[in-house]
Amino acid sequence: MSRTFFVGGNFKMNGVVKSITDIVKNLNDAKLDASTEVVISPPALYLTLTRELANKQIGVAAQNVFDKPNGAFTGEISVEQLKDTSIDWVVIGHSERRVILKESDEFIARKTKAAIDGGLSVIFCIGETLEEREANKTIEVVTRQLNAAAKELSKEQWAKVVVAYEPVWAIGTGKVATTEQAQQVHAEIRKWLGATVSKEAQDTVRIIYGGSVSEKNCRELATQPDVDGFLVGGASLKPAFVDIINARI
Ligand code: PEP
């Protein structure tokens, strides 16, 4: 079963008009592997600028969305508002939001459900902390995070999900998971999809790796059978992001 390779760029809280314009123009002008789906995620304030500037084959993702349709929720952005400004993707459950902003599995699952109900596709982030890995709890943790989503989503809605496995200890640290570590967890996630969602989801849902992916380590990671792409933080702000998008050519 071949799945379309997927590379996301999470700019996090980085960039201003000038630098984001430069990054997007660089991507527009680069020769990108046509068989790879590319989605970039700037800070909320620059979503419309990015959508207007980026070539149409490049998707744009918000870094967050709220689970309620509208109302007195100061500082939040709704699914409808994203759709209204031609944003089709959203990153949900990033570890920086889980850890720093204390978002729970249940809240993340509700946001995922609201996003998909409203027509967005979701980059659904999961992953264990260093402490959890050292306590041999990696699979338990990612399964718990996935089970929360499975409680909310219909089986069909998983077609709108890209699962991003991002070990927290590898994010922004320069410490990348080995190809074996990444493949082992991705294979477990795929098994979980088959057992909990459907055979179709097991075969078709993309599982991407995130955590200190660079132009140096991406090629080896991309050879793994269950690594369907990457979610890239720091390196997505640099010209080397193009090499990561082209990891398979
Ligand atoms: C991320 O923010 O999702 C990420 C993986 O960051 P980095 O590539 O910088 O580790």
Establish whether 186 is a catalytic residue. no
Nearest CA, atom 8, ligand 1: 233
Atom of ligand 1 nearest to the CA of 8: 3
Give the closest residue to 232 by CA, choosing from 125, 143, 153, 158: 125
Q: Which of 37, 96, 128, 166 is catalytic?
A: 166
pLDDT in tens, 206-221: 999 999 999 999 999 9
Structural domain boundaries of the chain? 5-245
Nearest CA, atom 7, ligand 1: 233
Percent of the chain scored above 70 by pLDDT? 100
Q: Measured in Å, how far apart are the chain's first and last C-alpha atoms?
A: 19
Q: pLDDT tier at 2 (50, 70, 90 boundaries)?
A: confident
Q: Average pLDDT, stretch 146-156? A: 98
Q: Is the pTM of this model over 0.80?
A: yes
pLDDT in tens, 17-51: 999 999 999 999 999 999 999 999 999 999 999 99
5-245 is a CATH 3.20.20.70 domain: yes
Nearest CA, atom 3, ligand 1: 233
In this prediction, the answer to ipTM > 0.90 reads yes
List Cα–Cα distances, 156 to 116, 153, 243, in angstroms: 10, 8, 33
Mutational pocket test of ligand 1: of 213, 216, 238, 241, the residue with most ligand atoms within 8 Å of the beta carbon: 213
Q: Average pLDDT, stretch 152-162? A: 98
Q: Which amino acid is at 89?
A: W
**Ligand 1: lining residues by beta carbon, under 6 Å:** 10, 12, 166, 171-172, 210-213, 231-235
Task: Give me the residues paired with residue 209 across strands.
Answer: 165, 230
Mutational pocket test of ligand 1: of 94, 95, 128, 212, the residue with most ligand atoms within 8 Å of the beta carbon: 212
Q: What proportions of the chain, in percent to the nearest 5, are helix, strand and coil?
A: 45, 15, 40
